[in-house]
Amino acid sequence: MCRWLTYSGRPIYLDALIFEPENSLIQQSLHARKTQVTTNGDGFGVGWYGGRKVPGIYRDILPAWNDANLKSLAHQVEACLFFAHVRASTGTATSRANCHPFGLDRWMFMHNGQIGGYDRVRRRLEALLPDDLYRHRHGTTDSELFFLLLFVHGLEDDPPEAIRRTIRLVDTAATEAGATDPFRMTAALSDGTHVYAIRHSTDDKPPSLYWGGAMDALTVVSEPLDGALAHWTEVDPERLLIAAPGHAPRVEALN
């Protein structure tokens, strides 16, 4: 499974979270602690919001720990809101188009987990994308497909409800296709202002998800960045965390 983090708050340099902590994302790419797959070397990506509404995104297929460009970029780029992701493929190819985060207009998305029985449901889910969205389908992952389906279900108007509708759609499609493997996910979504973080699973083994900080510096992570667990709050299964500038994060039920 992949590892990821998102940060929202006062401006900081990307390397303050990607490289510097005891259990930084780079450390997790080599030795993740909260997942059975400890190595995440199938590519990486970072995305950040600067002076424009559309995020900047940098992705590559090298392991994150072995990319000097990532280290240099993270040392120089300062942002109020950014995503970072290290990938462990669940079956799709290691390619730049399959690396996270994914972006479309002002939106950015990244994901950990998998749609169970993806080979059974992929065709029927892709068929639900209208042409103007399907042309943005650059890779082959279930993650990118889920992201695009959010737009079908009203992402621009009501992000929390779009998330709920898309999860229900995937769950229903998997059931109708006779898929027996679970749909497990944590994911992060942002429009450059709000952050939405999801924890969902159709079984009792959802991927881990935590948040830490306060309204002026919120970090949401696959696993804590240090050993001080008192600094971190676990997001319960079937919950949606919503963060907005100047407000404490709130958690809502997904169903």
Question: Which pLDDT value is given to residue 245?
Answer: 84
Q: Which long-range contacts (CB under 8 A, 24 or more apart) does 70-77 make?
A: 70/18, 70/44, 70/46, 71/15, 71/19, 73/14, 73/46, 74/13, 74/14, 74/15, 74/18, 74/19, 74/46, 75/13, 75/14, 75/15, 75/19, 76/13, 77/13, 77/14, 77/46, 77/48
Place of tokens 């900080």: 213
pTM of the model: 0.95
Residue 255 burial (CB < 10 Å; 0-12/13-18/19+)? exposed
Mean pLDDT of successive 10-residue segments in the chain (255 residues)?
Answer: 93 97 92 75 94 96 93 97 92 92 98 94 96 97 98 98 98 93 97 98 95 89 88 96 91 93
Domains of the chain: total: 1
Whether the bond between 101 and the residue before it is cis, its omega within 30 degrees of 0, is yes
Residue 167 in domain? no
Residue 119 in domain? no
Domain residue limits at 80 = 3-114+184-253
Please tell me the distance from the alpha carbon of residue 184 to that of residue 206, in angstroms, as a whole number. Answer: 6
Residue 13: which CATH number? Answer: 3.60.20.10
pLDDT single digits (tens) 38-65: 787 789 999 999 999 999 999 999 999 9
2 close to 111: Cβ distance less than 8 angstroms:
yes
Residue 93 in domain? yes
Residue 88 in domain? yes
